[in-house]
Amino acid sequence: MIKITKTPGHTHNPPICLTMILLGVLSWQMVGCSGGTSTATKPSDFDTPLEPVNVGGDGDLYDANRLLNVSISLPEADYAAMKAEGRTLASTARECVPEYEYTEFKATVTIDGDTMENVVIRKKGFLGSLSPSRPSIKLDFNDLHDGRTYQNMTRMTLNNNRQDPSNARQCMAYDKFRAIGIAAPRCNFARVSVNGEDLGIFSNVEPVKKPFLKRTFGDDDGNLYEAQLADFGTYLSDNFEKKTNKKENDRTDLMSVTDALQLPDTQLAAVLPQLIDVDEFIDFWAMETLLGFWDSATGNANNYYIYRSPDDGLFHFIPWGADTAFVGTHLFKPDSGPMYRNLSIAKRLYDIDIYRDQYHSTLESLLENHWNEEELQSELNRIRQLTGTSESSFETINQFIFGRGVEGEDNHIASQRQRLAAALSGDETPGNSHVLQDVAANCSDNPITTELTADITSTDGTDKGVFRFTLPNGNNVAASLTYAAFKVDSLVYSLADFTSPSVVSLLLIGADINDNFTPYVIQLYIEVSDYKPGTHALHGLATNLLLFEVDESAPLGINTIAMGRQAASPSTA
């Protein structure tokens, strides 16, 4: 928890006057949260059976030119509970990420004037899309009313576009995958309101479920796996979550790929095409590269599905979570682009001449035939007009596609075409690979925790106060902003507008008065809608607390000491 209390006087940069009481337990190693329990129940056997019904007729739920109007109502207490659910950053960074189940609630849902009672609703999201104010949402029309669909679909997935204020990245990315024959979700847009509150534009993305498999592969009997930081390996394969045929839980198909990746290059080239559609994978990989989709399969071993189709017996890759497409720069591995190969298969194939050449030629073909800047601009304009998104929200995606300025000038940003052309010609490095380590996870680790307390004031440009914690070696730290202010601006306010909602960042720099004024840094993030007096729970990347030590020898000049885990009982100071 983070508690902010208001004090009189002029603030230093922030729009409100505040004395911050940052009370939280931080984890030197990451610790998770427990899931909730369902409040949505099946109808009783004594209830009159509900007749199957297709609400809304035979319209196309994913018509690209359609902006749906989705109005949701549920008890305020349920909505508050739903918004509050979510992991912390610390809980997702453990070697064994704890399971987390979102609570299901009952809601009334109206879509373009058609109303449905007893719709199951829950929050969704792993980390980056989590928001305590604008939750991504899953709707199930069929669960409490067997046979009910909306325009022939039993479910809807409404993504909040938190990491994409342009609202354009997901739908545009999936369109590009489908254009080259890759199975990818259909997608359009919806304006979502809950209990009368307009939450803005969401992406309506086709769920990767059996209807999707039937539509794209012609069958739905094969093994479907969802990957969140998952790769093929003796231990890493455990991170693939099986989504179909769960009762049998036969995962030997994963082990076959794992075993193949242990073979020498010549044998691998003979065996792998019997397990994976290699040509299709190279197309998939090259498209992820072209799109600058860093939080992806080959970019981050994340946000993808694999499906082993009974039709050909091969694994096929399916993109997911494409709100970080059209970005390019890798948030966590900045030296790995533009030619991502942070997945074991991509790394192995890149090291084999014939496959590296195929990847390069595919990328060149995509640049020539599927990367038309004028068409991309036209699509951005269409989405902006359809959704009413502000023109300023497209700044970063425009810079990725078109670049900015002139080479040699300080403000120059190369376009994606220029980046890839330089890498393909050898003028620029293709980037380094960073595959996940295939080692047994330590699920019994006991995190070292410390209580971080801070009492900080900023009045008329003067920063005062101290934050305190204990290092793992037992040394007590008292980091004073007052002393740090002699050399630096010790409290820096900024507004990160590359998310929706925007996020307030507070950077606190303190000098340890117990250890020769060694500097330490707190980085605090709070969604702008929550930046007000009160207590705020840590929540994904939206409300987060990081503790660093200054180390000029480190790549970024700092080392991470701890991440916010959970709150102690806050008290007002």
Q: Which amino acid is at 293?
A: F
Q: Which amino acid is at 466?
A: V
- Name the residue with higher pLDDT: 430 or 541: 430
List pLDDT tens digits, range 203-215. Answer: 999 999 999 999 9
Q: Are residues 135 and 275 in the same domain?
A: no
What are the distances in angstroms from CA 306 to CA 27, 157, 183, 226, 438? Answer: 33, 19, 10, 7, 19
Residue 555 CB contacts under 8 Å (≥ 6 apart), including other chains: none
Q: What share of the chain is helix, strand, coil (3-state, %, to 5)?
A: 25, 30, 45
Q: What is the pLDDT of residue 491?
A: 93
Evaluate if residue 12 carries a pLDDT over 60. Answer: no
Which residue range(s) make up the domain with 287?
Answer: 260-371+403-425
Q: What is the pLDDT of residue 225?
A: 98
Q: Are residues 416 and 467 in the same domain?
A: no
- Name the residue with higher pLDDT: 573 or 290: 290
Mean pLDDT confidence for 75-100: 87
- Name the residue with higher pLDDT: 482 or 31: 482
Where does the pLDDT of residue 450 fall: very low under 50, low under 70, confident under 90, or very high at 90 and above?
confident
Q: What is the pLDDT of residue 2?
A: 53
What distance in Å separates the CA atoms of residue 462 and residue 489, rounded to the nearest whole number? 9
Q: What is the pLDDT of residue 43?
A: 65
Q: Are residues 407 and 268 in the same domain?
A: yes
Q: What is the pLDDT of residue 175?
A: 98
Q: What is the pLDDT of residue 472?
A: 87
Evaluate if residue 46 carries a pLDDT over 70. Answer: no
List pLDDT tens digits, range 232-287. Answer: 999 999 999 999 999 988 999 999 999 999 999 999 999 999 999 999 999 999 99
What distance in Å separates the CA atoms of residue 69 and residue 113, rounded to the nearest whole number? 8
3-state secondary structure 95-133: CCCCCCCCCCEEEEEEECCEEEEEEEEEEECCCCCCCCC
Where does the pLDDT of residue 568 fall: very low under 50, low under 70, confident under 90, or very high at 90 and above?
very low
Residue 573 lies in a domain: no
List pLDDT tens digits, range 286-330. Answer: 999 999 999 999 999 999 999 999 999 999 999 999 999 999 999
Tell how strand 114-124 and strand 53-55 pair up.
Answer: unpaired
What distance in Å separates the CA atoms of residue 341 and residue 320, rounded to the nearest whole number? 17
Q: What does the angle CA 175 – CA 227 – CA 331 come to, to the nearest 5 degrees? A: 75
Q: How many CB atoms lie within 10 A of CB 301?
A: 24
Evaluate if residue 93 carries a pLDDT over 90. Answer: no
What distance in Å separates the CA atoms of residue 383 and residue 188, rounded to the nearest whole number? 9
Q: What is the pLDDT of residue 26?
A: 36
List pLDDT tens digits, range 103-136. Answer: 999 999 999 999 999 999 999 988 888 899 999 9
Residue 187 lies in a domain: yes
DSSP letter for each residue of 342-401: -SHHHHHHHTSHHHHHHHHHHHHHHHHHS--HHHHHHHHHHHHHHHT--GGGGHHHHHHH
Q: Are residues 417 and 289 in the same domain?
A: yes
What distance in Å separates the CA atoms of residue 298 and residue 552, rounded to the nearest whole number? 31
Residue 439 lies in a domain: no
Q: What is the pLDDT of residue 9?
A: 37
Q: Are residues 306 and 419 in the same domain?
A: yes
Domain count, the chain: 3
**Which region among 350-364, 382-396, 510-524 has the lowest average model confidence (pLDDT)?**
510-524
Q: Are residues 360 and 504 in the same domain?
A: no
Residue 319: asked if its preceding bond is cis (omega within 30°), the reply is no
Q: Tell me the three state secondary structure of residue 248.
A: coil
Where does the pLDDT of residue 1 fall: very low under 50, low under 70, confident under 90, or very high at 90 and above?
low
Residue 226, beta-bridge partner list: 241, 305
The secondary structure of residue 237, as a DSSP letter, is: G
Q: Are residues 178 and 274 in the same domain?
A: no
- Name the residue with higher pLDDT: 496 or 223: 223
Sign of the four-CA dihedral 408, 413, 417, 420: positive
Q: Which amino acid is at 184?
A: A
Residue 442 lies in a domain: no
Mean pLDDT confidence for 37-43: 61
Q: What is the pLDDT of residue 16?
A: 31
Residue 14 CB contacts under 8 Å (≥ 6 apart), including other chains: 458, 493, 504, 506, 531
Q: Are residues 195 and 95 in the same domain?
A: yes
Tell me the two tokens of residue 427. Answer: 């003028």
What is the distance, to the nearest Å, from the Cα of residue 187 to the centroid of all Cα atoms in its chain? 17
Q: What is the pLDDT of residue 22?
A: 36
Q: Are residues 419 and 452 in the same domain?
A: no
Q: Are residues 413 and 473 in the same domain?
A: no
What is the distance, to the nearest Å, from the Cα of residue 341 to the centroid of all Cα atoms in its chain? 19
Q: Which amino acid is at 233?
A: G
Residue 553 CB contacts under 8 Å (≥ 6 apart), including other chains: none
What distance in Å separates the CA atoms of residue 91 and residue 370, rounded to the nearest whole number? 39
Residue 194 lies in a domain: yes
Mean pLDDT confidence for 330-359: 95
What distance in Å separates the CA atoms of residue 555 and residue 205, rounded to the nearest whole number? 38
Residue 361 lies in a domain: yes
Where does the pLDDT of residue 534 fall: very low under 50, low under 70, confident under 90, or very high at 90 and above?
confident
Mean pLDDT of the chain: 88
Q: How many CB atoms lie within 10 A of CB 370?
A: 14
User: How many separate helices (H) and strands (E) can be counted in the chain?
Assistant: 14, 25
Q: Residue 480's closest CA among 439, 521, 531, 441?
A: 521
Q: The tokens 């989709």 sit on which residue?
A: 293
Q: Are residues 421 and 453 in the same domain?
A: no
Evaluate if residue 193 carries a pLDDT over 70. Answer: yes
Evaluate if residue 8 carries a pLDDT over 50. Answer: no
pTM, two decimal places: 0.87
List pLDDT tens digits, range 538-550. Answer: 888 888 999 999 8
Q: Are residues 495 and 534 in the same domain?
A: yes
Residue 381 lies in a domain: no
Q: What is the pLDDT of residue 157?
A: 97
Residue 520 lies in a domain: yes
Contact 162, 324 (CB under 8 A): no
Evaluate if residue 224 carries a pLDDT over 70. Answer: yes
Evaluate if residue 512 carries a pLDDT over 60. Answer: yes
Q: What is the pLDDT of residue 496?
A: 81
